[in-house]
Amino acid sequence: MATLTVNGEARTVDVDPQMPLLWAIREHLKLPGTKFGCGIAQCGACTVHLNGAPVRACSVPLSAADGGEVTTIEGVAGQDGALHAVQQAWIDVQVPQCGYCQSGQIMSAVALLRDKPNPTDADIDAAMRGNICRCGAYGRIRAAIKAAASQTPSRAAGGSNHG
């Protein structure tokens, strides 16, 4: 039995503590926005925030998240439903193509901007190189991160509402 705060809500999951957080989120908490891509922390599709830090949920056992705060893509928007500046920038720059990797990309970008509200290209490289996009939207992801960074700093730097 693990107890988590997921997107601001207390949740319990009664499964094998060795189950990766990814599958607990998808199959037991029924939050399918976090994606399975590789299972070995190589692609970033499963990126969520655990206690504020971006992690690859496919490679974090549930036991390691017990008692922690988890934010998924479903919890990035404001309580009022207003999109996070990163999400809005993703729309403005028309980033997604197939869209499958974008939950993870957005989670990585949100964490980046919270830590570095005005990231350099090198910062973006370092924060985003763990997220593969087979549609090759890298140039647009970079542009959208910069667009989000240029929004009011408090909003962009505010990060997720729950992380």
Partner 1 sequence: MGKWTRRGLIAAGVLTGGAFAVGVGIREGHRAPRLAGMVAGEGETLVNVWVKLAQDNTITAIVPHSEMGQGVFTAMAQMLAEEMDADWEHVTFEQAPAHEAYANYPLGKGYLLGDIRVPGLVADSLNGGMLRVAQNMSLQITGGSTAVRFTGQTGMRVAGAAAREMLVRAAAREWGAPAAEIRTEKSHLFHDASGRTAPYATFAAAAGAMSPPVQPRLKSREQYALMGQSAKRLDIPAKVDGSAVFAIDVDLPDMAYAAVAGPPVFGARVTRLDDAAAKAMPGVREVINEGDFVAVVADGYWRAEQAIAALDIAWTQTGRETLGQDAIYAQFRTDMARAVETGQEQRDVRSGDARGAAAAASQRVEAEYSVPYLAHAAMEPINAVAHVKDGKVDLWIGHQNPLGARDAIAKALGYDRHAITVHTCFLGGGFGRKSEADYPIMAVRIAQRFNHPVKMIWSREQDIRQDFYRPATTARVIAGLSEDNMPVSWDYQFVHKNDPVEATHIPYAIENQFIHFAETENPIRFGPWRSVDHTQHGFFIESFIDELAHAAQQDPVAFRRTLLVDKPRHIAVLDAVAEMSGWGRPMPDQRGLGVALVESFGTIVAEIVEVDASGAVPRVVNVWAAADAGFVVNPDGFTAQIESAVIYGLTAALYGNISVENGAVVQSNFHDYPMLRMDDAPAIAVRIINSDANFGGGGEPGTPPAAPALANAIFAAKGQRIRALPLAGGGRLA
Residue ranges in contact with partner 1 by CB under 8 A: 15-16, 19-20, 23, 26-28, 30-40, 42-43, 45, 72-74, 76-77, 83, 87, 90-91, 94-103, 106, 124-126, 128-142
Nearer to partner 1, 53 or 83 (CB): 83
Q: Which is nearer to partner 1, 39 or 52 (CB)?
A: 39
Instruction: State how far the alpha carbon of 118 is from the alpha carbons of 49, 115, 149, 154, 161, in Å.
Output: 20, 9, 6, 12, 20
Task: State the minimum distance, in angstroms, from the CB of residue 92 to partner 1.
Answer: 9
The helix/strand/coil state of 62 is helix
Q: How far is the CB of 10 from partner 1 (least distance, A)?
A: 20
Smallest separation (angstroms) from partner 1 to the CB of 127: 8
Q: How far is the CB of 3 from partner 1 (least distance, A)?
A: 19
CA 117 to the chain's CA centroid: 16
Parallel, antiparallel or unpaired: strands 2-6 and 69-71: parallel
Structure tokens at 139: 């140039």
Query: Nearer Cβ to partner 1, position 69 or 109?
Result: 109
Nearer Cβ to partner 1 (68/86): 86
- Cβ-based neighbours of 41, under 8 Å, separated by 6 or more: 56, 58, 59, 130
